[in-house]
Amino acid sequence: MITNLAKFGLLFAILDCASSYAFAEERILPVLDEPIQPIPFDSSLDPAKVALGEALFNDPRLSKNNSLSCASCHILEAGGDDNMTIGTTINGVPHVINTPTVFNARYNFRQHWNGAAESLPEQVDLVLRNHMEAGSNWNELLTKLSQDAVLVSSFNEIYAEGLTRENYLDALNTFERSLITPNSRFDQYLLGNKAAITEDEKKGYERFKEYGCISCHQGINIGGNLFQKFGLFYDYFAERGNITTADYGRINVTNKESDLHVFKVPGLRNVEVTAPYLHDGQAETLQEAVDIMGKTQLGKTISEADIELLVMFLKTLTGEYMGQSLAAKGHTIAGANHGSDTSAKQGSTDDESSLASSGGNGS
């Protein structure tokens, strides 16, 4: 049974993102009628653009000092994020926010925790120009890349105009759109394989719906398609303390008081391998994250038994990349190098303000 809160949130999500997606031609019709849809297999992307975009994704010349590439923060072997509490920056100092995964980012209706970017290309543009991330600009980047004869030749083979800002973004965007993780066990279940998940995992999914988690986490990406206030029923920030500009959320973009502590709801696919969790990276385990979300978003203290069932379900959402399950790649939280004090990890007020306006690190 889905709660009234869940029904309202689900309706809002459907209405809010109906005009944001253009993937109808790619969808798979699941056997089971559920609020979650399986990830489609997409064979429509140009392989040459994907290959060129992959080279750009791994090219540290994106950054001013040639030290950071997209892959520096979005490690495909580690869940598409960096497994750090708070990411790193071009200056080698801690970032101000947790790095989201780049996997399945194409299905997000906005990019960044605060939704500052409306598309993947816009997200790249913001990262390029942010002084804590790439710290560069288009003239500087294109000048550097134009000196690479092999790269220029690759652009000329694919694009009539060769190496331009628009073509750079198109190639990189094409690669990022290829970063999908289909064929999770839960997707297999939705497509009719009832044996794909265990009875306890099915119970976990039922709890997921009964508690109302489904109100914000549904659709293809099981989230990523609406904004929500963090702390509807419990003041997380008052308990944690050390409030930073990044904690203000979407108000940093809109300047609307109603957007204080509002964030894009993260997708839950591959959540098994993207710890630590929350925008501040303060939940090191799924159990901690579920407990916090129960208090802050549902106004409930979830029992340990139900937390374990929910975690079992969440682990069925781990998909495959390049034919291999992400769960097989292993996972290590690398946030210990930043210590446990939130204020120490999140840098100066000036750095926070700059990152807050652009939305922070990654997708």
Whose structure tokens read 């097989």?
328
CATH code of 228's domain: 1.10.760.10
- Choosing from 133, 272, 320, 352, the catalytic residue is 133
Looking at the structure, tell me whether residues 257 and 287 fall in a common domain: yes
The residue out of 111, 143, 177 marking a domain boundary is 177
pLDDT at res. 93: 85
The mean pLDDT of the chain is 87
Looking at the structure, tell me whether residues 170 and 225 fall in a common domain: no
The residue out of 143, 177, 211 marking a domain boundary is 177
Q: Phi/psi of residue 183, each to 5°?
A: 65, 30
pTM across the whole model: 0.86
Q: How confident is the model at residue 26 (pLDDT cuts 50, 70, 90)?
A: low
Looking at the structure, tell me whether residues 163 and 61 fall in a common domain: yes
pLDDT at res. 92: 84
Looking at the structure, tell me whether residues 74 and 101 fall in a common domain: yes
Looking at the structure, tell me whether residues 165 and 229 fall in a common domain: no
Judge whether 118 counts as a catalytic residue. no
CA–CA distances in Å: residue 238 to residues 115, 234, 333, 347: 24, 9, 26, 20
Domain enclosing residue 141, as ranges? 47-177
pLDDT at res. 29: 76
- DSSP H/E element including 325: strand 324-325
Looking at the structure, tell me whether residues 194 and 113 fall in a common domain: no
Looking at the structure, tell me whether residues 13 and 94 fall in a common domain: no
Looking at the structure, tell me whether residues 60 and 205 fall in a common domain: no
Lowest mean pLDDT: which of 147-156, 226-235, 317-326, 350-359? 350-359
Both tokens of 71, joined, read: 């892959």
Q: How confident is the model at residue 250 (pLDDT cuts 50, 70, 90)?
A: very high
Q: Please state the rounded mean pLDDT for residues 139-166.
A: 98
Q: Phi/psi of residue 238, each to 5°?
A: -65, -40
The residue out of 126, 153, 177 marking a domain boundary is 177
Whose structure tokens read 């990262």?
127
pLDDT at res. 73: 94
Q: Is residue 357 assigned to a domain?
A: no
Q: At what angle do helices 304-314 and 199-211 cross, to 10 degrees?
A: 110
Lowest mean pLDDT: which of 50-59, 88-97, 265-274? 88-97
Amino acid letter, 198: T
pLDDT digit string (tens) for 35-48?
A: 999 999 888 899 99
pLDDT digit string (tens) for 292-332?
A: 999 999 999 999 999 999 999 999 999 999 999 999 765 54
Q: Please state the rounded mean pLDDT for residues 76-102.
A: 92
Looking at the structure, tell me whether residues 298 and 191 fall in a common domain: yes
Number of structural domains, the chain? 2
CA nearest to 233, candidates 292, 280, 164, 299:
299
End-to-end Cα distance, the chain: 33
Number of other CB atoms surrounding residue 226 within 10 Å? 24
Q: Is residue 355 assigned to a domain?
A: no
Amino acid letter, 99: T
pLDDT at res. 32: 85
pLDDT at res. 329: 64
